[in-house]
Amino acid sequence: MLEIDLSLDGFRKTNSKKIPKTIRENKGISLIDLPRDYIVVDIETTGLDCKYNEIIEIGALKVRDNKVVDTYNTLVKPKYEIDSFIEEFTGITNEMVANSPDIKTVLPAFTNFISNELLLGYNVNFDINFLYDNYKNCYNEYITNNYVDVLRLCRKIYPDLFNHRLKRVAKFLNIDLTNHHRAIRDCEITKGIYDSVRQHIADNNIDLKELFKNKWSVDLRELKTEKTEFDEDNFFFNKYVCFTGKLEKMVRADAGQIVVDLGGRCENSVTKNTNFLILGNNDYCSTIKDGKSTKQKKAEKLILEGQDLEIISENTFYDILNFE
């Protein structure tokens, strides 16, 4: 799998105008669960963008009662040549895929393998989004399976790790990384990590519901600052800020505190005072099926009515702050 670096080093200044987000309204739901029956999924691609890059390998493990009972693995011939970086990164060369089936040929067999079963993967939103868009483009159909993201579990179980990329977590758990970045091997590594997480949770009597208890319930309007002097030229001074979705780098209360320390004001909901709505990740919210939260929809309505309000991404928020 290609892994996304969520660090903020080297961010350039960006335009804070809203960037349209792909809506996958038929996508399955991200579950907090510890299943014993599931299918591990991993793909390799020519890049990170579903719109411009292609799938070049799909791997899957069928698991019953925590034991692998079947496997699926195929290379996929892309429309365009694999560049040298991806060849080096994954070990998949243009020669290897030259006689492989294309994605349209592959998808029906993959569908038969996964059926409507629960999927499991590491940063599995990446894999599912690629598959979802390819199903739609090839057959005007959708992958609607619910899924468990092992990355999401690892962030809670091992909070002190510097980052939670598959490679770092596997090393931490002494899991062999031979052939990492090949689909079937990454499925095996993912299952190894998941097995360790399950065991850790059982050994420590961890309550999953408590572990994932909503930490956003703090009233952001109650946040105070000890600062008495502010740079009145900073972006958020005297501005009303609201958040929606799950932030990747920090909890919402900490992000709100940064705003308040800059002389801004935080709100729990979008109002006629709101100047900025900061978008987190909605993929983990089971109540959102069209890609947009209620706050985002209200903000868009207010913008169309002429309100001085901007919708910005989480990364743009950090970029404005020069956050590193």
Mark whether 68 and 171 lie in a shared domain. yes
pLDDT at 9 over 50: no
pLDDT at 228 over 70: yes
Mark whether 92 and 202 lie in a shared domain. yes
pLDDT at 128 over 90: yes
**Structural Rg of the chain based on CA atoms:** 21
User: Does residue 15 sit within a domain?
Assistant: no
The phi and psi torsions of 149 (rounded to 5 degrees) equal: -100, 110
Sheet with strand 276-279: strands edge to edge? 265-267, 240-244, 276-279, 310-313
pLDDT at 319 over 60: yes
User: Does residue 30 sit within a domain?
Assistant: no
CA 128 to chain centre: 10
Per-residue model confidence (pLDDT) at position 48: 87
pLDDT digits (tens, 9 = 90+) for 167-207: 999 999 999 999 999 999 999 999 999 999 999 999 999 99
Averaged pLDDT, 90-102: 97
Mark whether 117 and 225 lie in a shared domain. no
Per-residue model confidence (pLDDT) at position 121: 98
Q: What's the number of domains the chain is made of? A: 2
Task: Say which residues have a Cβ less than 8 Å from residue 141's Cβ, sequence separation at least 6.
Answer: 135
Mark whether 93 and 241 lie in a shared domain. no
Per-residue model confidence (pLDDT) at position 3: 57
* One-letter-per-residue 3-state SS of 74-114: EECCCCCCCCHHHHHHHCCCHHHHCCCCCHHHHHHHHHHHH
Per-residue model confidence (pLDDT) at position 13: 36
Q: Looking at residue 288, which CATH number applies to its domain?
A: 3.40.50.10190
Per-residue model confidence (pLDDT) at position 5: 43
User: Does residue 83 sit within a domain?
Assistant: yes
Owning domain of residue 130: 38-209
User: Does residue 290 sit within a domain?
Assistant: yes
Mark whether 195 and 236 lie in a shared domain. no
Percent above pLDDT 90 for the chain? 69
Mark whether 267 and 161 lie in a shared domain. no
Q: Which residue has the higher pLDDT, 102 or 22?
A: 102
Neighbours of 313 (CB within 10 A): 18
Distance CA 260, CA 270 (A): 17
User: Does residue 215 sit within a domain?
Assistant: no
Mark whether 181 and 265 lie in a shared domain. no
Which of 209, 241, 257 is the last residue in one of the domains? 209
Mark whether 281 and 225 lie in a shared domain. yes
Per-residue model confidence (pLDDT) at position 39: 98
- pTM greater than the 0.85 cutoff: no
Which of 148, 180, 209 is the last residue in one of the domains? 209
User: Does residue 187 sit within a domain?
Assistant: yes
**Mean pLDDT rounded to a whole number for the chain:** 88
User: Does residue 14 sit within a domain?
Assistant: no
Mark whether 233 and 137 lie in a shared domain. no
pLDDT digits (tens, 9 = 90+) for 274-298: 999 999 886 555 555 566 888 999 9
Q: Which residue has the higher pLDDT, 292 or 236?
A: 236
Which residue, chain included where needed, has tokens 């972006």? 235
Mark whether 115 and 245 lie in a shared domain. no
Mark whether 196 and 237 lie in a shared domain. no
Mark whether 76 and 152 lie in a shared domain. yes
User: Does residue 20 sit within a domain?
Assistant: no
Per-residue model confidence (pLDDT) at position 210: 83
Which of 182, 209, 236 is the last residue in one of the domains? 209
Q: Looking at residue 58, which CATH number applies to its domain?
A: 3.30.420.10
pLDDT digits (tens, 9 = 90+) for 22-80: 778 899 999 999 999 999 999 999 998 898 999 999 999 999 999 999 999 999 999 99
